[in-house]
Amino acid sequence: MEEEAAEPLSRNRLFELQAIIADANGDYPFDEMPSSPASLLHSLSLTMDSGGKIGLLASNVYLSLILCTDSPVYSFFTPVAFLSFLRSLRLAVKGRQTEARPSQPNRRNDRKKKAGRSSSRVLHQPDEEEAQTEEENEAIEIEDLVSVLEKLDSVVGRVSLERFSDSLKSLIEAVVQVLVVAAELENETSGKVRKLSYRRPTSAKDRLPGLCFKIFVRALHPQHGDVTNNCVEVLKSLSPLLVSQNSQIRCPAIEFVTSNLTEIAKEWPDVRRAMAALPRYLAVKSNTDKIDSRAVAVDAVMKVVQSLGSAEQYEFAGFVVKMSVGKVRLRMMAIDLIVAVLGLLPDPLGIREDGFENDDARFCGLRCLEALINRCSDKVAGIRARALSNLAHAVELLSADIRNRSRLVEALAFGNGSRAVPNVVHKDNLESFNSEMGSQGLFFNQQTISPDFGPGPTPLTPGAFCRDLNALVRRRCVDDKAAVRKAALLLITKSTVLLGRVVDESVVKTIGLACSDPLVSIRKAALSALSE
């Protein structure tokens, strides 16, 4: 009967409860509580569901009751009540987002709401509704949000969420929303994009990211269940921030993953297992349709890979090779990742015979180079052009170390009849990629991408999988797409200058034909190649 009679608490009543809790000096005030824990919890839940500042105030009282000494913790901490708290937190965050992004349509909606209220005052009690509306629309202070997050951090450290997996997942999602608001508040106050720092906070809004990351660390503790699964949930929720080019929280989020989680992984190996899967997840799930977004995704992926051990790095390089025979967007992502991987590996061409666990690790860079060459004959013109351009950049990158030049000339085999690169069989790669993506999954047993694969039976021409790269370059110089022709001329220029090779006569003739190309940019590139 008490639960049926329960009503939302007023602001004054919440202030009274706060005062009672404060006077108890950390102990649970059994004698001074006006009602039973069940009845009080029901009233607090209704108040938290209302949202706004009063909902956040009720959330503060709710968390304070859980943190009291000798408190009936699990009488207050129920899945329904905790979800009401998270709803209150989301509504508070949503209110801050609305304040940070005012717009004309919102003003129109506000006028409609005011008109609706004025028309309803004839039928309802005006004073009560107006007071309730003012409470709900009252601006939420950052200090209130910080206070709630501080108490939430303590609650997550005290209460085990192992039995409440859905509550833990909802908690992680809500905290990520707070991170987004922290970024928007930073942009709102500074008027420009500035990197947030959670190491040395100077104000309440600067403390928000640090508190959020601290809660994530708490959520990874073994008392909350399987560490690997919990870490996967945290990383999945953070992944949109890691690859978002418009998010001001991106740099601190990457720093948290690469620094804090790396340190935690030393104590809990399960965290390292989840981190090793993160680059694969980002590479496949990122929106890579545009060059800028793809560049941001590649940067985030490689920063995570850089924080891993050498074994995980070689494993990721092998995954990128398999990725190069996937869908169009995966192939485009793979050829950008290959250049970054070649720059990361300590000995990409396997010059030194020692220091490798096995031959797969030693020839990992050569397999990446082979995959990049194969994409130069892709069905999609954009991928052909990007692969040729990236191959030119790879030549520039690898030839910076003079020890790599002889191996690079041997691997590319301009006119030498065969390339000394371990052959990457398209069918085997496709089956391996299908197995890893479908059955094992990027984040273990989760469903991943569609099984619709690859460019099909490349080569398009005898130049693909060629033993002589000159044949490939000649065909690409007369490709029907201008971007491909220009990229092929760039490859000729880079390889001639950096490797000091003698250009084949047939290639010179092909460049001569390019000097008569209808496009001015192609003619300029051809003349530049001839001058080299």
Express each pLDDT in 179-225 by its tens digit: 888 777 766 554 443 444 444 445 666 788 889 999 999 999 999 98
* pLDDT over 70 at 124, yes or no: no
Q: Which two tokens stand for residue 226?
A: 């399987």
User: What is the band of 446 on the pLDDT scale with cuts at 50, 70, 90?
Assistant: very low
Per-domain residue ranges for the chain? 1-99, 141-304
Cβ 499 vs Cβ 395: under 8 Å: yes
Cβ 239 vs Cβ 281: under 8 Å: yes
Instruction: Report the DSSP beta bridge partners of residue 249.
Output: none
Which pLDDT score, from 0 to 100, does residue 99 have? 56
Which pLDDT score, from 0 to 100, does residue 453 have? 37
- Please give the radius of gyration of the chain, using alpha carbons only, rounded to the nearest integer: 30
Mean pLDDT check: name the lowest of 130-144, 189-203, 409-423, 491-505. Answer: 189-203
More confident residue, 424 or 60: 60
Residue 30 half-sphere exposure, CB side, CA atoms within 13 Å? Answer: 4
Which candidate, 362, 375, 272, 271, places its Cα nearest to that of 318? 362
Q: Which two tokens stand for residue 384?
A: 């052909």
Question: Using the 8-state DSSP alphabet, how is residue 27 labeled?
Answer: B
Mean pLDDT check: name the lowest of 92-96, 411-415, 421-425. Answer: 421-425
Question: Using the 8-state DSSP alphabet, how is residue 69 labeled?
Answer: B
Q: What is the mean pLDDT of the chain?
A: 78
Average pLDDT of the segment spanning 457-472: 51
pLDDT, tens digit, for every residue of 262-284? 988 888 888 988 999 999 999 99
Between CA 134 and CA 126 the distance in angstroms is 12
pLDDT, tens digit, for every residue of 480-501? 899 999 999 898 888 877 776 6
* pLDDT over 90 at 48, yes or no: yes
Which pLDDT score, from 0 to 100, does residue 416 have? 46
Which pLDDT score, from 0 to 100, does residue 3 have? 45
* pLDDT over 80 at 313, yes or no: yes
Q: Which two tokens stand for residue 497?
A: 């200058």
Which pLDDT score, from 0 to 100, does residue 530 have? 78
Distances (CA, A) of 244 to 295, 296, 329, 458, 503: 11, 7, 17, 34, 43
Average pLDDT of the segment spanning 41-63: 91
**69 φ, ψ (degrees, to nearest 5):** -65, 140
**What amino acid occupies position 262?**
T
* pLDDT over 60 at 119, yes or no: no
- What percent of the chain is predicted at pLDDT more than 70? 72
* pLDDT over 80 at 76, yes or no: yes
Most confident of 99-113, 182-196, 512-526: 512-526
Q: Which region holds residue 26: left if phi is over 0, alpha if psi is between -120 and 50, else beta?
A: left
More confident residue, 100 or 398: 398
Between CA 116 and CA 520 the distance in angstroms is 64
User: What is the band of 317 on the pLDDT scale with cuts at 50, 70, 90?
Assistant: very high
Which pLDDT score, from 0 to 100, does residue 5 have? 57
Handedness of CA 75, 81, 86, 90 (dihedral sign): negative
Contacts of 436 (CB under 8 A, 6+ apart): 319, 322
User: What is the band of 128 on the pLDDT scale with cuts at 50, 70, 90?
Assistant: very low
Which pLDDT score, from 0 to 100, does residue 107 have? 47
The 8 Å CB, 24+ separation contacts for 494-500 are: 494/392, 494/393, 494/395, 494/396, 495/392, 495/395, 495/412, 495/414, 496/529, 496/532, 497/532, 498/395, 498/396, 498/399, 498/405, 499/395, 499/399, 499/405, 499/408, 499/409, 499/412, 500/405
Contacts of 318 (CB under 8 A, 6+ apart): 360, 364, 367
**78 φ, ψ (degrees, to nearest 5):** -115, 155
* Strand residues in 307-427 grouped as ranges (E): none
More confident residue, 160 or 134: 160
More confident residue, 40 or 438: 40
Average pLDDT of the segment spanning 26-40: 77
* pLDDT over 90 at 351, yes or no: no
* pLDDT over 60 at 428, yes or no: no
Question: Using the 8-state DSSP alphabet, how is residue 504 labeled?
Answer: P
Q: Which two tokens stand for residue 308?
A: 């891993």
- What percent of the chain is predicted at pLDDT more than 90? 34
Q: Which two tokens stand for residue 235?
A: 């990383």
Mean pLDDT check: name the lowest of 93-97, 462-466, 505-509. Answer: 462-466
Distances (CA, A) of 307 to 116, 175, 231, 277, 302: 56, 24, 16, 13, 9
Q: Which two tokens stand for residue 357?
A: 């666990």
Neighbours of 412 (CB within 10 A): 26
User: What is the band of 462 on the pLDDT scale with cuts at 50, 70, 90?
Assistant: very low
Which pLDDT score, from 0 to 100, does residue 269 have? 85
* pLDDT over 60 at 423, yes or no: no
Which pLDDT score, from 0 to 100, does residue 60 have? 93
More confident residue, 10 or 469: 10
Neighbours of 307 (CB within 10 A): 19
Which candidate, 121, 142, 122, 139, places its Cα nearest to that of 130? 121
More confident residue, 378 or 196: 378
Question: Using the 8-state DSSP alphabet, how is residue 439 labeled?
Answer: I
Which pLDDT score, from 0 to 100, does residue 109 have? 52
Which pLDDT score, from 0 to 100, does residue 97 have? 57
Average pLDDT of the segment spanning 223-238: 92
**H or E segment to which residue 160 belongs:** none
Cβ 24 vs Cβ 32: under 8 Å: yes
Which pLDDT score, from 0 to 100, does residue 80 have? 92
Contacts of 247 (CB under 8 A, 6+ apart): 180, 183, 240, 241, 253
DSSP 3-state of 316: helix
